[in-house]
Chain A
Amino acid sequence: MGLFKKLKKAFKKITSKVKKVVKKVVKGVKKVVKKIGSSKILKAIAIAGAAIVTGGAAIGAFTGGTATGFGGWLMNASNTISSGALFGTKASGLAGAAQSAGNFLTKVAAKPFASVGSSVGNIARGVTDFTGLTDAAKKGLVTSDEQAASILSRTGMSESDIAQLTAEGSSALQGAAQTYVDTQGGVGTFTMADVDAARATSSTTVASGVVDGAQSTGLREFGRTVGTRVATNVFTGAAMSAIQGDPELRGTTLPGGGKEGAGVFDPLRIYASENNINVSDIYNQVLYGNADPSSMYGSQLYSQETVGVA
């Protein structure tokens, strides 16, 4: 038997196996959720599976980034990983250093889990509109304060910042959320600095007369303008992203500056050795989920008892 025939046969076997696993999972979920059709459970699993594969970008794409229900909840996990705040940030001293190390790891190491993130999110955003499956006019629009607050809360933006935007009024709050949706496809982090940058761009745009000044007085209008621009230039952006690649990580966020030492990667080594994985190849291991492998040991490692110093 030739190589190609063998490959086709092997792939067929895998397809059957995947189907069997899907069936098994559907049955497993069905045991918990009674009186619900298997097709419905299959749909839920397919949606969750795609969210896991694309790091939340699939949900961002299909909902225009305005997902607030289950999709938004799942994307929140993805964004927590991307923002690298899994270990908290408040501790000081040794614990603080350990947290920094952990967060540094999640920023660097978790990247593969969110790497499809915004690029696919942006590319796929217009997909369903393009194919005529959904209505662009009704999708991806932030329409209420509650929805805006929900979207912003999963971007890593602090509660005080959200409260500040709320105090500024509906237009500021919804505008910020709309900008996040339009510029980042509802995936990744978003800070007040981004909001300020958007405001600055908005004023410049208005001043240069590109957009009708009478209609674009607020951030919300800016968001919509950007939305139109993103829709038309999304593929140029994706192409640029592919050409430029991800920004190279230089230096370190650890106290003391300089290049990070090998010790930073110790927790990852522990996880890898426990799971029989070569640490340098850890992200060659195809693992799926909403968390980084290094975070699985995190809570125990940083909360374990240490030798007290008198």
Chain B
Amino acid sequence: MGKPNRQVRPIISDNISEAAGLAVLDGLDAGFDIEDIAPDKGTKIRGEARFSQEGLDELTNLSGQGRPIPGQSLTNSPESAYPWESPPTLTNPREALDVIVAEIMQPEAVKNIVNALANGAAVGDIGSAILYAKFTEGDITPDTMMLLAEPVMYTIMAIGEEANIKYNIEGNDLDEFDEEDEAEEMTNKISEFRTAVSDIKNQTTQKLKPTVDENVVPRNILDRVKEQGPEIRSLLTKGEA
């Protein structure tokens, strides 16, 4: 295990991805190996989304039920406003993040998240469901909901990593990173191959450079050709009419 040769450098950023990237680079620079940061836990569980006609039918049925008639909200009594129509309980995004992360870290919630990830649910979808529920309960504003998307997604991703699951981030992109790696590897190999071919070609060309023996054609014939110059006509030239 690598030992750090210095303390952590202060990092502040307005997005977690950048802050996390900087923290990882800082750790590597301080003497850690990538294996110290992300230890291998063996083969990952593949959280692959599988198509199910039954599930799709159920979703279609659910989405068609109980939908409000356009303008229905205008007929509601102002006395009985929806929770999201009142001021939110958590106005500070940081406080809201603390509350939501603490709720996500509840054993029952973690268990459900792990199950969902293992069954192919995407991190983005789980995060959006959690935050959307918080909004509809009147806990946060839509703005806070958007601000918390990234940190909540990271928390879910960390749970997935801890559970050793290969999860989807958005849609069914389970193997996207690996595919990109493979594509990159292939591009590198092709590029290496092209460089090698080009090298061989250059060397061969160099070796096979034609050396013309000037004495093959007698000097007087060459002089005649020079004299005749452009007047020499090709056999294919159009004859005079």
Residues of A that sit less than 8 Å from B by CB: 3, 7-8, 10-12, 14-16, 18-19, 21-26, 28-29, 32-33, 36-54, 58, 61-62, 69-70, 73-74, 76-77, 80, 112, 115-116, 119-120, 123-124, 126-128, 130-131, 133, 238, 283-291, 293, 295-296
Q: Is B30 among interface residues, defined by CB-CB distance under 8 A? A: yes
Complex contacts, A120 vs chain B, CB 8 Å: 98, 101-102, 105
Structural contact, A50 and B14, CB atoms closer than 8 A? no
Structural contact, B14 and A38, CB atoms closer than 8 A? no
Structural contact, B37 and A48, CB atoms closer than 8 A? yes
A289 touching B161 in the complex, CB below 8 Å, given contacts A39-B178, A49-B20, A53-B101: no
Structural contact, B158 and A50, CB atoms closer than 8 A? yes
Q: How many residues of B contact A (CB 8 A)?
A: 73
Which of A48, A133, A283 meets B24, CB within 8 Å? A48
1/0 per residue, CB under 8 A from A, across B145-157: the answer is: 1110111011101
Structural contact, A19 and B38, CB atoms closer than 8 A? no
Structural contact, B32 and A73, CB atoms closer than 8 A? yes
Q: Is B137 among interface residues, defined by CB-CB distance under 8 A? A: no
Q: Restricting to B1-36, which residues have a CB under 8 Å from any CB of A?
A: 1-2, 4, 7-8, 10-25, 27-28, 30, 32, 34, 36
Q: Which of B11, B36, B158 has the most CB of A within 10 A?
A: B158
**In angstroms, how far is the closest chain B Cβ from the Cβ of A161?**
19
A-B contacts, 5 listed (Cβ < 8 Å): A7-B145, A19-B170, A69-B1, A74-B23, A288-B13
Structural contact, A73 and B162, CB atoms closer than 8 A? no
Q: Is B128 among interface residues, defined by CB-CB distance under 8 A? A: yes
* Closest partner residue, chain A, to B6 (CB atom): A73
Complex contacts, B164 vs chain A, CB 8 Å: 133
Structural contact, A288 and B111, CB atoms closer than 8 A? no
Q: How far is the CA of A131 from the CA of B4 in the complex (A)?
A: 32
A77 touching B161 in the complex, CB below 8 Å, given contacts A18-B17, A29-B21, A284-B94: no
* Closest partner residue, chain B, to A46 (CB atom): B157
Q: Is B163 among interface residues, defined by CB-CB distance under 8 A? A: yes
